[in-house]
Amino acid sequence: MNSNHIPDIQIKEKSIEINWPDGHKSSYNPKYLRIHCGCAECVEEWSNRKLLDPVTVSENIQAVDYLIVGRYAVQFLWSDEHYTGIYPFETIRKLCKCNECSTK
Distance CA 41, CA 60 (A): 21
Distance CA 72, CA 74 (A): 7
* pLDDT tens string 44-86: 999 999 999 999 999 999 999 999 999 999 999 999 999 999 9
- Whether the full predicted model's pTM is greater than 0.85, yes or no, is yes
Q: Which domains does the chain have, with CATH numbers?
A: 8-102 (3.30.2020.30)
Strand pairing category for 16-19 and 63-69:
unpaired
* pLDDT tens string 4-55: 689 999 999 899 999 999 999 999 999 999 999 999 999 999 999 999 999 9
Residue 1 pLDDT > 70: no
55: left (phi over 0), alpha (psi -120 to 50) or beta: alpha
Q: How many residues does the chain have?
A: 104
